[in-house]
Structure 1
Amino acid sequence: MFNIPALTWTLTAVLLLGGSYNLLQAVRARHLTDRINNTLHALMNALMAAMLWNLGPSTILAQITILAGAALWFTLQAVARPQFKLLCAGSQGRLTCAYHALTMAAAATMIALMTTHTTTTTATPTGATAIPAHHHAMAAAHTATPHTTTPGTATLAGPGNTPALLLTLIFAAAAATFLTLLLRRRTTTTTHHTRKHSTRTEHALEALGATTMALMFATMTA
């Protein structure tokens, strides 16, 4: 996705780290709902990592369907009645589920936007050869000269994409919010030390995830 391989590798590591944590939480979860939620997060991170390396172009529709379904699932949890104790409970829980629904929907939107702006071929100077343009290598589809992309070096070119700009700002704000929550100091008792550590880990990963999403959407606004 980026012209800087080091950045692509860094974001890939962040996504895989977050996915691994979610997968571990899914294994440890006692309730089915928690297992499903964490599994969906792990899957989303894997799909975003694959996107960075232009993998799975033949499964675009399946990716969008899965992420859209996940967004709907978290939305249903966010608006569920209080009687359903296994779903999001309390205002904080509902807000968390609403944010996760937004994240899933944004991931699906990212794939859809890149697919929409893809051209099918790029002509060579002689006009003798047609080169298929991959849905993630959008820069190649908008250049007049031949351009060969390699995994991790493709560039997205979004022509003033308003949804991408809006989502960039949203996830940048989310990253700042989670970073604030992470750095905020609270006085807690020893009994709550384990839970506090877990919450701080989640906030750190959420901040990294939001930053990654903001960067990926930012490349579509240039």
Structure 2
Amino acid sequence: MFNIPAITWTLTAALLLGGSYHALQAARSRQHTDRVNNILHALMNILMAAMLWNLAPTTMLAQIAVLAAAALWFTIQAVARPEFKTLCTTAQGQLKCAYHALTMAGAALMIAMMSQGTTPAPGTTPAQTMTMPMPATHHTMTATPHSPATPPLDHSPALAILPATFFTAAAVIFLILLLRARRQKTTHHPKTTPPPHTRTNHGLEALGATTMALMFATMS
């Protein structure tokens, strides 16, 4: 799928849209926790978009470390005690933070899986490594007469199928929430109508989950 420019550009646009929204929300946030959360979401979207184009492959370990730390941060929020008012204390908030922790962990896993095909094996040169299919790149299997090409490490397809299924289910759930919010809006009941930013969040969450599901599906 990464070899199809139209799909790659569509996924990139979706990721940059989500990243831009979270960056804007971070600038508007008054609470430090909300600002940090939005910054982490914006950073994750940017890193995922960069991965689509195989940008900055030498910083993959740093990217994985940042996303893993972000997953830990959202996990801490999800299990926080009610006394910490600025963290996720309600049942809905804890569920949301738990999902975001899984999203960050999924992004870290995806980058780790992609790096298996772009990192040269010990004793080989970059030209001897078969690269993953990326835009504007080609499969390379060049070897010197005295050094055979070393294939990338294999990963189990099941490792990608599981998160692909999870994010597909998440996309469906967020889409249902979005449709329900829109229906509540048409009833014109102020007490039951969710605020506009809630509908926007549901829409972006559905878009983000769909993007993650598609990217994992190409790796299965």
Q: Does 1:133 align with 2:129?
A: yes
Q: Does 1:179 align with 2:175?
A: yes
- 1:116 corresponds in structure 2 to 116
Structure 2 segments unaligned to the other structure (5+ residues): 143-152
- 1:198 corresponds in structure 2 to 197
- 1:216 corresponds in structure 2 to 215
Measure the CA separation in 1 of the matches of 2:188 and 2:87. Answer: 27
Decide whether aligned partners of structure 1 residues 136 and 46 sit closer, same or farther in structure 2, where only a CA change above 3 A counts. farther
> Residue type matched to 2:197 in 1?
S
Post-superposition offset of 1:119: 6.5
- 1:95 corresponds in structure 2 to 95
- 1:34 corresponds in structure 2 to 34
Structure 1 segments unaligned to the other structure (5+ residues): 122-128, 147-156
The answer on whether the counterparts of 2:129 and 2:141 sit within 8 Å (CA) in structure 1 is: no
Decide whether aligned partners of structure 1 residues 189 and 120 sit closer, same or farther in structure 2, where only a CA change above 3 A counts. same
> Residue type matched to 2:6 in 1?
A
Runs of 4+ in 1 over 4 A off after TM superposition: 143-146, 157-160, 190-193
Measure the CA separation in 2 of the matches of 1:134 and 1:100. Answer: 33
**TM-score when normalising by structure 2:** 0.82
Post-superposition offset of 1:38: 0.2
Post-superposition offset of 1:170: 0.2
Decide whether aligned partners of structure 1 residues 144 and 63 sit closer, same or farther in structure 2, where only a CA change above 3 A counts. closer
Measure the CA separation in 2 of the matches of 1:92 and 1:192. Answer: 17
The answer on whether the counterparts of 1:51 and 1:136 sit within 8 Å (CA) in structure 2 is: no
Post-superposition offset of 1:6: 0.5
Count of paired positions: 200
Measure the CA separation in 2 of the matches of 1:220 and 1:117. Answer: 11
- 1:149 corresponds in structure 2 to none
Post-superposition offset of 1:136: 4.1
Post-superposition offset of 1:89: 2.0
- 2:18 corresponds in structure 1 to 18
- 1:64 corresponds in structure 2 to 64
Query: RMSD of the TM alignment (CA)?
Result: 2.6
Q: Does 1:75 align with 2:75?
A: yes
- Secondary structure in 2 matching 1:131: helix
